[in-house]
């Protein structure tokens, strides 16, 4: 994936997106529902996205993160040829593709675990899994226990230090590149994976595709460790995730300003690193359910598209749909959506806003590649500067319910073009910058 700074991701959770059955009976004929992604290409192009992250696709028992065959597309989505054709259509539309790589754990119907259940101590696969102990029964009533991911015993943790396990997964990743021509992998639960194994994955995949992109799901820790020690190219930016919406809910832009300066400012811990930024995803509540004032979605998407890193939109959120995890059930976060129904029955103003922001981002090198510097911050107004090769842009936010005037001396004096409001303005110490309610400006120095 060349120049990832120029990518705007769209994220789809396939099994929910197509309305697949919750359980895989492992016997039915394939249903080629994944072709629905092709129907959404015009919508993605209208938004301006040029990269797609597809959630888990391979044969699993239930939700996709309980893989049972890394070499076969889930029958509820189609066949390997279905995926191959979908990726080809996306590439022809100028959209690169990354897939979910669930390499930390497998489902209980994974062939090696089935062999362990059948042959117990005599199974040649008993060392494929962590902490197999025949002295106790598992919570699933197996005559042995084992290490499960996060206490979920339907997710059996793989022993990546076992050579055969490592090779099985590395060969799967290589197969995905050669068979489906994908451009990258998002590593599920990367914060639980061995750094040494991720390094091998990086070497093997980049040996096939030099610009292959590896992004890890990491919630806590120093993200740079996954790049330096694990050979990844990026990680999820959970550190900024909360501050993006809570700074608006709490009328406290100081929260997100602190995070951005700490991460991306001069000398910041992730200066120059292109983290994967998001407002919501398949694991967390929809941002429209998080934000208390829906009008704040406008300055929120403005920040997503102008802050350092790589922005991502979770399918459906561009219409402002809501969704919350209820008693651990993720179903409402992963709905079956029809693009025509959504456009006919939901407000499309947010789509127009996001589409314009994406167009502006693509036009401005400073927003894609630039350094970060806080210009000023108050409880409900905030501005930062992005600069690259002499191009300067000042992004200014107002989350109040009223018009606000900002003193011109808060940014550099000069002539600017307001990219959002399509007008030229002159700024100096005697002038003021007017901000509409719940809106902002992207001022390009001219």
Exposed, middle or buried, 38 (CB in 10 Å: 0-12/13-18/19+)?
middle
pLDDT at 391: 97
Residues of the chain with confidence (pLDDT) below 50: none
The CA-CA-CA angle for residues 25, 27, 31, to 5°, reads 85
pLDDT at 82: 98
Whether the CB-CB separation of 412 and 393 falls below 8 Å is answered with no
What CATH architecture is 368-445?
Sandwich (2.60)
* Helix pair angle (163-180, 80-92), 10° resolution: 50
pLDDT at 123: 98
Task: Give ranges for CATH 3.20.20.80 in the chain.
Answer: 4-106+157-365
Tokens found for residue 313? 């939109």
pLDDT at 308: 98
pLDDT at 2: 80
* pTM over cut 0.85: yes
> β-strands 234-235, 213-216: how paired?
parallel
Exposed, middle or buried, 183 (CB in 10 Å: 0-12/13-18/19+)?
buried
Map tokens 């697949």 to a residue: 20
Q: Name the CATH code of domain 4-106+157-365 (choices 3.30.930.10, 3.40.50.10490, 3.10.310.30, 3.20.20.80).
A: 3.20.20.80
- Cα(70)–Cα(279) distance, rounded to whole angstroms? 29
DSSP state of 29: P
| pLDDT tens profile 82-111 | 999 999 999 999 999 999 999 999 999 999
Task: Say how many residues make up the chain.
Answer: 446
Q: Bridge partners of 377?
A: 382
pLDDT at 328: 84
- % pLDDT > 90, the chain: 97
Task: Give ranges for CATH 2.60.40.1180 in the chain.
Answer: 368-445
pLDDT at 430: 86
């Amino acid at each position: 994936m060349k120049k990832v700074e120029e990518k705007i991701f769209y994220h789809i959770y396939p099994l929910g997106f197509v309305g697949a059955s919750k359980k895989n009976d492992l016997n039915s004929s394939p249903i080629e529902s994944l072709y629905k992604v092709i129907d959404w290409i015009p919508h993605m192009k209208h938004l301006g996205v040029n990269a797609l992250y597809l959630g888990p696709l391979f044969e699993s028992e239930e939700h996709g993160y309980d893989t049972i065959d890394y070499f076969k597309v889930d029958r509820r989505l189609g066949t390997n040829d279905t995926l191959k054709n979908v990726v080809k259509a996306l590439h022809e539309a100028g959209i690169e593709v990354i897939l979910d790589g669930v390499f930390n754990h497998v489902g209980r119907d994974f062939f090696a675990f089935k062999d362990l259940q059948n042959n117990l101590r005599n199974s040649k696969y008993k060392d494929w899994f962590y902490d197999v102990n025949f002295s106790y029964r598992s919570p699933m009533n197996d005559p042995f226990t084992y290490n499960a991911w996060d206490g979920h015993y339907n997710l059996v943790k793989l022993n990546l230090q076992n050579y055969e396990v490592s090779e099985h997964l590395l060969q799967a990743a290589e197969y995905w590149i050669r068979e489906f021509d994908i451009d990258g992998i998002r590593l599920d639960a990367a914060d639980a994976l061995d750094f040494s194994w991720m390094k091998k994955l990086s070497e093997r995949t980049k040996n096939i595709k030099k610009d292959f992109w590896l992004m890890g799901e990491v919630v806590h820790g120093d993200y740079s460790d996954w790049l330096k020690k694990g050979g990844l190219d990026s990680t999820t930016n959970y550190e900024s995730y909360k501050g993006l919406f809570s700074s608006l809910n709490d009328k406290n832009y100081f929260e997100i300003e602190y995070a951005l300066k700490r991460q991306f400012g001069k000398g910041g811990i992730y200066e120059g690193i292109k983290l994967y930024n998001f407002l919501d995803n398949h694991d967390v509540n929809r941002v429209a359910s998080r934000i208390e004032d829906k009008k704040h979605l406008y300055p929120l998407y403005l920040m997503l598209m102008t802050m350092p890193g790589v922005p991502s939109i979770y399918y459906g959120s561009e219409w402002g749909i809501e969704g919350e995890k209820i008693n651990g059930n993720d179903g409402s976060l992963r709905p079956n959506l029809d693009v025509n129904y959504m456009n006919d029955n939901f407000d499309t103003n947010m789509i127009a806003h996001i589409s314009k922001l994406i167009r502006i981002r693509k036009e401005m090198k400073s927003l894609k590649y630039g350094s970060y510097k806080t210009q000023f911050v108050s409880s409900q107004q905030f501005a930062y500067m992005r600069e690259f090769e002499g191009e300067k842009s000042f992004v200014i936010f107002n989350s109040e319910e009223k018009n606000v005037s900002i003193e011109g001396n808060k940014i550099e004096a000069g002539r600017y073009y307001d990219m959002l409001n399509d007008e030229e303005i002159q700024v100096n110490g005697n002038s003021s910058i007017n901000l509409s309610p719940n809106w902002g400006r992207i001022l390009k120095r001219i």
